[in-house]
A = this chain, B = another copy of it.
Amino acid sequence: MRPNKRDELVRKALQVFYQDGFHATGMDKLVVETGVSKTSMYKHFRTKEELILAALRLRDENFRNWFLRRIEELADTPADQLIASFDALGEWFEEDGFRGCMFIKAGAEFQDKTHPIHVQAAEHKRLLLEYFTDLARRAGASAPEALACQILLLKEGAIVTAVLIKSCDPAHEAKAAAKVLLEAALLN
C-alpha cells in the first residue's frame, strides 16, 4: 500500500479509460492491465467511481500543467498567449493516441449534473475558463469574461471537431477565429 503504487494504478487506469471509455472498461480489465489483484485494487479504491475520479484528477493536473506551460513557451504577452493556445491545441491533436478531451467524454458518459464525475469534469472546464479570463483581462479586453468564453467555445469546438471530422483543420481555423475575436475585443 505504498503511495507510489496507488499512483501507478491511477496512471494506468487513466490510459485505459482515455483509450476505451469509462463504461466500456471493466475493473477486471484494469486488474489484468496493471497486474495487481482485484482485492488490492479495491484496497486502494473503494469503488470504480473513486478510481475514475482519481484518474480525472490526474488528467486535470497533467493536462493543465502541459497546456499552460506550453502556452507560456510559445508566447510572451497575454494577448499572444490567448492565440498561441490554439498552436498548443494543434500539437495535441497531432499526438499519437489523441482521443479528444477526457472531460467532455466524462460529461457525456455521466450526464447527471449532480454526479460527482460530471461535477469534476465541469470543474476542469471552469478552471480553463478562469485561466482564459485572466489572460483576456491582462490582455486589456473590454469584456474579458465574454472574450474568454468565446475562446473557450472555440477550444471545445476544435477538440470535438478534431475527433469527428478530418476535413476542416480545427486548430488552424480556431486560431484564425480567435485572432479576429481578440482584435475586436481590444478595439472596443
A interface with B by C-beta (< 8 Å): 19-21, 23-24, 99-100, 103-105, 107-109, 111, 118, 121-122, 125-126, 129, 145-146, 148-150, 152-158, 160-161, 163-165, 167-170, 173-174, 176-177, 180-181, 184
Contacts and interface: CB of A to CB of B under 8 A. Distances in A.
A122 B160 CA distance: 10
B180 A168 contact: no
B145 A168 contact: yes
Contact of A170 (B153, B158, B168): B153
Nearest to A110: B21
A133 to B, nearest CB: 9
A157 B168 contact: no
A109 B109 contact: yes
A2 B109 CA distance: 34
Contact of A111 (B21, B148, B149): B21
Given A100-B108, A125-B165, A153-B153, 13 more contacts: A23-B23, A104-B164, A105-B108, A105-B109, A109-B109, A125-B164, A150-B154, A152-B157, A153-B174, A154-B177, A156-B160, A157-B157, A157-B158
B107 A163 contact: yes
Nearest to A23: B23
A169 B129 CA distance: 12
A56 to B, nearest CB: 13
Contact of A180 (B21, B121, B180): B180
A124 to B, nearest CB: 8
Contacts of A177: 150, 153-154, 177, 181
Given A155-B157, A160-B157, A180-B181, A168 B108 contact: no
Contacts of A146: 173, 176
> Max chain B CB contacts within 10 Å: which of A21, A107, A157, A168?
A157
